[in-house]
Structure 1
């Protein structure tokens, strides 16, 4: 009998994962026999040189892309082979996303952007969920800004709205794709501290793709990819240690 993902202390995992593009001599391998899990209540950073497969890995784990080989689970539910409608429903209810480009709806104010996952799910937030949203707005420093549309907010404030939206449904896991890529260093540090607090104070699970050693230094665990394979699985590291590891990977690539 197969061991369930939750029994491993994981919120998401992939097994023997492969992803290829093209055919014959034009075939490109983005992921090559990857087996890895995202641990519950942990902040995981996914790093690697450009073209190493880190974004592809995140997209497959989040159900945004399909693997060429292997299997993927969200919690105890295998998502490999699910149809688009089932995947969309599952992502909406159990996954939070934070992107470099914020991905806020420009015609909606901050509060409506935060509540968008509920709207898309065809329901209103419950009393408990409204309380959670209000607590997030306070914790993320958005009090007094919820009636503003994205163009009336700074980049840092827009990313805070995106984080509140990702946390509002209390998802199983949050996937963050270069969440500080469009921010200055001070705002980046604040956003990373907010993500860290979501793990420590709310027990969230976060998987973050980043090329930034400073961003990755906020994580509990760092996965390094090269040529579509996991080449190192480390605990917390300093930005300097991460930079040295990345330089080594780029030299041998």
Structure 2
């Protein structure tokens, strides 16, 4: 019997995943035989020290980088051997991204930035999708800002726009890469609460790469990488518990 990613209650998974850069004595193993799944409708934090492989794992799961060996699934699609064109379409339609640097288009107003996934896909939002976007805009407090350009907004407001854009097309999975890195602590907490609410209230699957224990404490699940391998997989934890775990890992290294 063939067990699919969906049967396992996962939105994405990797099996025996390895990634190496360079050759011979200069070879660097960024990931070493990693098998892990991201659960559907859950907010997952991926943590680890610099060079642990957490960003590499995210890039491969999102179809932005390729594996040296192993397999990668998004939903029940094996994306391991897909070409650039198929990967571009897959990312456009099934993956959302929130970056540390916001990555908004400066020449577009806020409404245009939020609608960008649909523009890139060459279509207009359906009636249902339009209602969802309106709900997002209202929830994120952007109703009065739709005709503004990104430079007219604060960092926190720009990140809210990035979240709205990432959620607009209801992707299978949203990847958030250090989403609070450029925000002050209060605004960062607000953004993290919004991401957590997207998982809890809307069933959105989110995988967030972070080095910040406070950010990770908002997640339902915490995966910790070290030296290219998963060394811890735990449920919701306090910032203090996560800090203690990271400290113990550093001492053991």
Same fold (TM over 0.5): yes
TM-superposed deviation, 1:43: 0.5
Partner Cα separation in structure 2 for residue 150 and residue 225 of structure 1: 35
Note the alpha carbon deviations across 1:33-91, whole angstroms, 9 max, x for none. 00000000111000001100000000000001000010000000000010101000001
Partner Cα separation in structure 2 for residue 181 and residue 217 of structure 1: 15
What are structure 1's unaligned runs of at least 5 residues?
Answer: none
Tell me, what secondary structure is at the counterpart of 1:8? coil
TM-superposed deviation, 1:127: 1.2
Note the alpha carbon deviations across 1:137-185, whole angstroms, 9 max, x for none. 0000111101111101100000000000000000111100000000000
Partner Cα separation in structure 1 for residue 126 and residue 220 of structure 2: 33
What's 2:71 paired with? 71
Partner Cα separation in structure 2 for residue 250 and residue 30 of structure 1: 18
Partner Cα separation in structure 2 for residue 251 and residue 160 of structure 1: 37
What's 1:229 paired with? 229
Partner Cα separation in structure 1 for residue 243 and residue 207 of structure 2: 19
Partner Cα separation in structure 1 for residue 207 and residue 217 of structure 2: 13
TM-superposed deviation, 1:252: 2.1
What are structure 2's unaligned runs of at least 5 residues?
Answer: none
What's 1:187 paired with? 187
TM-superposed deviation, 1:248: 1.4
CA RMSD of aligned residues (A): 0.6
What are the within-5 Å matches in structure 2 for residues 1-253 of structure 1?
1-253=1-253
TM-score (norm 1): 0.99
* Contact persistence 1:98–1:174 (CA under 8 A): yes
TM-superposed deviation, 1:128: 1.1
Partner Cα separation in structure 1 for residue 209 and residue 22 of structure 2: 24
Partner Cα separation in structure 2 for residue 103 and residue 66 of structure 1: 23
